[in-house]
Amino acid sequence: MKELTKAEEQIMQVLWDIKKGFVKDILEKLDEPKPAYNTVSTIVRILETKGFVSHNSYGKTHEYFPLVERENYKRDVTKTIVEKYFDGSVRNLVSFFVDEKKINLKDIDFILQQIAQQQKSK
């Protein structure tokens, strides 16, 4: 799966939230300062070219909707980050968050419970 730019990802986040919409609908959901209408329109067309978005036509108007699910993109991005920045090691990823003080014992307990549940279901 291709990576998205920050602007493309911002548009995708809106489309994932609203499920489908016109450029004006996407623009309404973006934070201030809002980009120009033409900028959003261009980004949506780029997303369509990349295979992330498609549209229904109503005359000259297009209603856009995501083709890629948020969870699938999240999975691919996370995998890419682990491979690129943490030598493919989840251990290195967790260690990074511990060093940065972005994870605490409560978080670790939750992760351990999820691992234990996964092991039980096998």
Q: Give the pLDDT of residue 87.
A: 96
> What mean pLDDT value characterizes the chain?
94
Q: Does 1 have pLDDT greater than 80? A: no
Give mean pLDDT, residues 75-82.
94
What percentage of the chain carries pLDDT values higher than 70? Answer: 100
Could you tell me if 52 and 76 lie in one domain? no
Q: Are 45 and 74 found together in one domain? A: no
- 67, 52 in Cβ contact below 8 A? yes
Residue 62 sits at φ, ψ, to 5 deg, of -120, 135
Q: Both 23 and 45 in a single domain?
A: yes
CATH at 26: 1.10.10.10
Residue 57 and residue 17 share a domain: yes
Q: How many domains does the chain have?
A: 2
Same domain, 111 and 77: yes
Look at residue 1 and tell me if it is in a domain.
no
**Whether residue 11 sits in one domain with residue 60:** yes
CA distances from 72 to 1, 15, 69, 76 (A): 9, 15, 5, 6
In this structure, the answer to whether residues 62 and 82 fall within a common structural domain is no
12 and 28 in one domain?
yes
pLDDT digits (tens, 9 = 90+) for 15-36: 999 999 999 999 999 999 999 9
Domain coverage including residue 61: 6-66
58 found inside a domain:
yes
- 28-75 pLDDT per residue, tens: 999 999 999 999 999 999 999 999 999 999 999 999 999 999 999 999
The residue out of 45, 66, 87 marking a domain boundary is 66
- What pLDDT sits at residue 44? 98
CA 82 to chain centre: 16
* Exposure string over 50-62, b if 16+ CB within 10 A, otherwise e: eebbeeeeeeeeb
- For residue 122, the model assigns a pLDDT of 76
Q: State the residue for tokens 């990074």.
A: 96
Cβ neighbours of 106 (radius 10 Å): 8
